[in-house]
Amino acid sequence: MLKKYFNIKEFYLTILLISGISKGLSFEIDHIEPPFWWSGFENKNLQLMIHGDNISKLQPKIPYKGIKIKKIHIADSPNYLFIDLFIEKDKPKQFTINFYDKKKKVLSYDYELLKRKEYHNKQNLNSADVIYLITPDRYANGDRSNDNIDHLFEKVNRMNKDGRHGGDIKGIIDHLDYINDMGFTQIWLNPVLENNQTNYSYHGYSTTDYYNIDARYGSNKLYKKLSLEAKKRDIGLIKDLVLNHIGSGHWWMNDLPTIDWLNYQDNYVQTNHIHETVYDPHLPQSQKNLFTDGWFVQTMPDLNQKNPFVATYLEQVTIWWIEYAELSSLRIDTYPYIDKDFLSKWSKRVIEEFPDFNFFGEAWLNDPTMVSYWQKGSKPYDDFQSYIPSMKDFPLQKFLIQGLTTKHSWNSGIGDIYRILASDFQYGDPYNLVIFPDNHDMQRVYSLLNEKMDLFKMAISFIATTRGIPQIYYGTEIAMTSTEDHGELRKDFPGGWDNDKINAFIGSGLNPIQLEAKNYIKTLLNWRKSNNAITQGKLIHYPVTHGIYVYFRIYKNEKVMVIMNNQENKKILEFDLYHEILLKKRKGIDIINGNNYNLSESIELKPKSILILELE
Ligand code: CA
């Protein structure tokens, strides 16, 4: 008996169910992943994971000659089949996979090979960009009808700071013009794949389905629409992907494919969260793999990327999303927690298919020695080979805040910023690091700087003008405050919900401090967009003297000079020292207010101030 229901690309999970009966035994397919694929990739291999009752007892066959079944693997669970396909005729095609019980055809599935797009995404992340990081549940509720979804456990509750608040993809699409006006050119969303956990699911880092957007945010189709609508405004879309672990509510957890799909599959062991153990030469054996193999927390089972089926699955899901949603970049969560050998192969595979794709990992370490280890082009102490072009620059964030909030002396204060940048020699490409004053895991920068507007402007201006790709967390543009509590620092963006008294999108109800922050950032980022010295130029900086930090960005004949005075009192700056860089440039125009400075004379610096001068 053959019974076929649907083969629909969107929502395939909730709809896909193919069932059949042979000799009294029932068979089903509830998942085929990837759900479809493309012709035109460098790598012509494709491994399908098929799940359904008793599926391993059936024999798959493909009557179409252009697709060859290279190998069929059964797993430890009888409900999985892995089929290695080789794409011989590399062109778009829908073909049928038939499943036989001896000679009887029991099930069949129409699989689609789509045409790959010409690959070059002009929105690919680069140092001319400024990234806007959004926690989607907390930004704007554009569609109240998806606040609660029957088949997803957690329902909306804005009274719970750790609960779901209803923000969604529609809410972001609705405010793309605002994002564009502010000067942001990339959007990074915290993960939006399904997180069907019973509670604390809004943050998105507990994936329960790698191929479906969480229905409370929208759908795969709507996510792609966001990407295309953003692209119309020259804005790229960055996907946050978690390859280290899944959520305990992942559908695999009811029926794991193999006995080693997870690390510590039968006996829970937590990671020690000590990043340094990855590099430490003095460790005893028992501590060596604890960091990477232990679980992040009990609700986040740790994937075993040493299992080749897990590895292939994660490689394919990465490529699938870049191609499907025309992504401009990826941000990979908890990068050093992932198996190193896997990361090496995985990053190589991404680059093979998307040669100019620029993507970055998260390694929350304060030492450039350890962060640089992961970036392509750095020289690691061992034979590790990485192909990931960028990393998040955590050391710079820490030293920026520390530098601005401690008193100047020969080894403290603003000199910390100089000193950390002096360590750039360790990075494969320091200009390609993602730099930030805060993010979704740390206290809001305005609060870190003790709610001092002058320090806030210094921090934001520094991030917008030093080397690297700036990232600003939503709400920082209106100087949002917070404690360290996650629910608190990911507060709802004012104006994102009906009846909000304050609407930051249109600027109504903002207090003078919020307005000042917003206008400042808007001016700064829009200026940055078209300044070649900042977006492509070399960084030259001087060691800090008398609490003043001076640096230049230089591209051909275009020069920008930045002067940071972190002293409590005003200072006089003489320009003699800088003549080797200034050369014939004698005029500086303040990019915020247009004021002119004559650089042949000394100038007076306000206490706790930053001056960004375009030189002429
Ligand atoms: Ca909603």
Contact call for residues 192 and 241 (beta carbons, < 8 A): no
What is the CB-side half-sphere exposure of residue 440 using CA atoms within 13 A? 24
Q: List Cβ neighbours of 491 (8 Å cut-off, separation of 6 or more).
A: 138, 475, 480, 482
Indicate if the alpha-carbon torsion angle 451, 455, 457, 462 is positive or negative: negative
Residue type, 576: D
What average pLDDT does range 478-489 have in this prediction?
96
- pLDDT tens digits, one per residue of 429-470: 999 999 999 999 999 999 999 999 999 999 999 999 999 999
Distance CA(274)–CA(345), nearest Å, equals 24
Residue at which a domain ends, from 115, 147, 179:
115
For position 355, what pLDDT does the model report? 94
Residue 126 belongs to some domain of the structure = no
pLDDT band at 570 (very low <50, low <70, confident <90, very high): very high
pLDDT at residue 572 tops 50: yes
pLDDT band at 502 (very low <50, low <70, confident <90, very high): very high
**Does residue 492 have an active-site annotation?**
no
Distance CA(388)–CA(348), nearest Å, equals 8
First and final C-alpha spacing in the chain: 80
List residues bridging with 613 in a β-sheet: 561, 590
pLDDT at residue 346 tops 70: yes
Residue 148 sits in the same domain as residue 109: no
Whose tokens are 């320090």? That residue is 455
Residue 246's alpha-carbon distances to 53, 304, 310, 415, in angstroms, are 23, 11, 12, 41
Averaged pLDDT score across all residues of the chain: 95
Residue at which a domain ends, from 81, 115, 149:
115
- pLDDT tens digits, one per residue of 546-569: 999 999 999 999 999 999 999 999
Strands (E), 244-379: 329-332, 360-361
Instruction: Give kind and range of the element (H or E) at residue 164.
Output: none
pLDDT at residue 606 tops 90: yes
For position 19, what pLDDT does the model report? 84
Residue 398 sits in the same domain as residue 435: yes
Residue 239 sits in the same domain as residue 323: yes
Residue 91 sits in the same domain as residue 164: no
What average pLDDT does range 492-508 have in this prediction?
97
Q: Domain with 610 in it: what CATH number?
A: 2.60.40.1180
What average pLDDT does range 106-113 have in this prediction?
96
Residue 336 belongs to some domain of the structure = yes
Is the bond preceding 34 in cis, omega lying within 30 degrees of 0?
yes
For position 9, what pLDDT does the model report? 42
Residue 547 sits in the same domain as residue 490: no
Residue 528 sits in the same domain as residue 600: no
Q: Domain count of the chain?
A: 3
**Does residue 276 have an active-site annotation?**
no
Residue 178 alpha carbon to ligand 1 centre in Å: 19
- Tokens read off for 221: 């189709």
For position 224, what pLDDT does the model report? 98
Residue 273 belongs to some domain of the structure = no
Residue 499 alpha carbon to ligand 1 centre in Å: 15
Provide the whole-model pTM: 0.96
- pLDDT tens digits, one per residue of 421-431: 999 999 999 99
Residue 391 sits in the same domain as residue 515: yes
- pLDDT tens digits, one per residue of 224-275: 999 999 999 999 999 999 999 999 999 999 999 999 999 999 999 999 999 9
Residue 165 sits in the same domain as residue 99: no
Residue 98 sits in the same domain as residue 153: no
What average pLDDT does range 591-595 have in this prediction?
97
pLDDT at residue 357 tops 90: yes
Residue 143 alpha carbon to ligand 1 centre in Å: 4
Instruction: Give kind and range of the element (H or E) at residue 533.
Output: helix 532-536
Quick one: DSSP state of residue 295?
B
Residue 1 belongs to some domain of the structure = no
For position 8, what pLDDT does the model report? 39
Residue 96 alpha carbon to ligand 1 centre in Å: 38
- pLDDT tens digits, one per residue of 58-82: 999 999 999 999 999 999 999 999 9
Residue 487 alpha carbon to ligand 1 centre in Å: 18
What average pLDDT does range 287-311 have in this prediction?
96
Residue 501 alpha carbon to ligand 1 centre in Å: 19
Active-site hit among 333, 339, 353, 614:
333
What is the CB-side half-sphere exposure of residue 272 using CA atoms within 13 A? 11
Phi, psi of 6 (to 5 degrees): -125, 155
Q: Domain with 102 in it: what CATH number?
A: 2.60.40.10
List residues bridging with 537 in a β-sheet: none
Residue 269 belongs to some domain of the structure = no
From the number of C-beta atoms within 10 Å of its C-beta (0-12, 13-18, 19+), residue 241 rates as buried
For position 2, what pLDDT does the model report? 34
Residue 260 belongs to some domain of the structure = no
Active-site hit among 362, 424, 438, 492:
362
For position 362, what pLDDT does the model report? 98
From the number of C-beta atoms within 10 Å of its C-beta (0-12, 13-18, 19+), residue 69 rates as middle
Instruction: Provide the angle, in degrees to the nearest 10, between the axes of the packed helices 308-325 and 220-232.
Output: 50
- Tokens read off for 443: 């206290």
Q: Which domain holds residue 85?
A: 9-115
Give which of 397, 513, 525, 404 is closest to 453, Cα–Cα.
513
Residue 575 belongs to some domain of the structure = yes
Contact call for residues 84 and 40 (beta carbons, < 8 A): no
Residue 259 belongs to some domain of the structure = no
Residue 168 alpha carbon to ligand 1 centre in Å: 5
Residue 515 sits in the same domain as residue 551: no
Q: List Cβ neighbours of 450 (8 Å cut-off, separation of 6 or more).
A: 405
Residue 80 sits in the same domain as residue 98: yes
Instruction: Give kind and range of the element (H or E) at residue 467.
Output: none
For 98-118, the DSSP string reads EEEETTEEEEEEEEEEEEPPP
Strand pairing category for 18-22 and 2-3: antiparallel
Residue type, 227: S
Of 20 and 530, more confident: 530
Distance CA(156)–CA(118), nearest Å, equals 41
Residue 214 alpha carbon to ligand 1 centre in Å: 11
Residue 177 sits in the same domain as residue 221: yes
Q: Domain with 429 in it: what CATH number?
A: 3.20.20.80
Residue 62's CB is within 10 A of a number of other CB atoms, namely 16
- pLDDT tens digits, one per residue of 189-238: 999 999 999 999 999 999 999 999 999 999 999 999 999 999 999 999 99
List residues bridging with 73 in a β-sheet: 82
Residue type, 325: A
Residues in the chain: 616
Residue at which a domain ends, from 532, 557, 578:
532
